[in-house]
Structure 1
Amino acid sequence: MKFTLILSFLLLATFFVSFGQEKQPSKSGNNEVNVAEKGLTKISIMYPFAEGKTFNMEYYETKHMPMVAGYLGANLVKYTIEKGLASGIPNQPLPFLAIGTFYVKSLSEYQAAVAPNRDAIRADFANYTNVVPVILVSEVVK
C-alpha cells in the first residue's frame, strides 16, 4: 500500500511538472506570459472588421487552423483563436473579426513549412472569409 501511494505521488508530480506549467497569476494580480513562451515566434493573423465582411468561425476553428497547424509539425508549440467582441474604446467599431495566432520555435522552420503550402492556405480563405488578413510576426519577450 505504501509503495502504491508513493508511486502514485511520483506519477502525479511528474504529470504536473511536465504538463502543469500553466500561466498563473502573479502575486501582484497581473497575468504574466508563461516563462516557457518567452523567445517564441508569434505569428498573428488578424482579420480586420469592415462593413460587408464575413467570417465563419466554426470553419476557421474546425478546418482551417487545424490544417495550417498540421503543416507546422513539431515546430508548433500551440495556437490560439480569438473572436472579436468589441473595440477597447466605447462606441467605436470592432477592429478585428478574429485573430488566429501560432506560437512556433523557429521562424525559418515556420516559413519553410508554409511556403510549399501557401496556395492551399490562401485557397481555403474563401471557405470562411472575404477578409484579407493582416499578418504580424513578433517575438514573445515577456
Structure 2
Amino acid sequence: MKFKLILSLLLLSSYFVALSQEKQPEKSSKHNITATEKGLIKISILYPYAEGKNFNMEYYAAKHMPMVAGFLGSNLVKYTIEKGLSSGIPDQPLPFMAIGSFYVKSLSEYQAAIAPNRDAIRADFTNYTNVTPVIFVSEVVQ
C-alpha cells in the first residue's frame, strides 16, 4: 500500500510539472521560488470533486484559461493548470478535479479586467464543467 501511495505521489508531481502552461524561470536554490514570484497575487480557481460532476480538461486548457488570460493583459505573469489525480491519503476521495491559477502583479487590476468579462467567463463554464468553482486569492510569500 505504501508503494502505491509513493508511486501515486511521484506520478502526480510529474504530471503537474508537465502540465504547467509556461516556461519555468530559473529557481532560487534556497526556497525553490523565483524572485519574480514573491509578492505576486495568486488567484486559484478550484473545482471540487463530487459524484456525477464532470470536467473537460482539454477544453479548459485549450479554450477557457487562454480566454481568461487574454483579459488580464500585462498584469498576468503566468498561469498554471492542474489536474487532480488523488487525495494523497489512501482510500479518500479526490478533493479537486482541477485547479487553475493566475499569477498577477495587482489584485485591483485583475478585478478591473475580470469585471466587464464576468458574464462571458461564467457563460463558458457550461462548455467544460457542471461544477461551481471555489476561488481563493492569496499572496506568494515564499
TM-score by length of 2: 0.81
Q: What's the CA shift string for 1:6-43, capped at 9, x where partnerless?
A: xxxxxxxxxxxxx984225x37xxx6221210000000
Distance 2:39 2:62 in 1: 28
The number of residues matched between the two structures is 120
By how many angstroms is 1:98 displaced? 0.2
Partner in structure 1 of residue 108 of structure 2: 108
User: 1:125 matched to which residue of 2?
Assistant: 125
Tell me how far apart the structure 1 counterparts of residues 25 and 115 of structure 2 sit (CA, whole Å): 32
> Equivalent residue for 2:58?
58
The runs of at least 4 consecutive aligned structure 1 residues that moved more than 3 Å come to none
**Aligned: 1:22 with 2:36:** no
Secondary structure of 2:113's partner?
A: helix
The answer for unaligned runs of 5 or more in structure 2 is 1-22
Q: Indicate yes or no: 2:39 matched with 1:39.
A: yes
**Alignment partners' CA distance in 2, 1:54 and 1:75:** 31
Q: Could you tell me how far apart the structure 1 residues matched to 2:99 and 2:78 are?
A: 14
User: What is the alpha-carbon distance in structure 1 between the residues aligned to residue 86 and residue 27 of structure 2?
Assistant: 25
Segments of structure 1 that go 5 or more residues without pairing to the other structure are 1-18
Amino acid at match of 1:55: F
> How far has the Cα of 1:87 moved from its partner?
0.3
Secondary structure of the 2:99 match is strand
Q: TM-score w.r.t. structure 1 length?
A: 0.81
In the alignment, the residues of structure 2 paired with residue 91 and residue 106 of structure 1 have an alpha-carbon distance, to the nearest angstrom, of 40
Aligned to 1:12: none
Paired position in structure 2 for 1:87: 87
SS in 1 for 2:36: helix
Q: Give the letter aligned to residue 113 of structure 1.
A: A
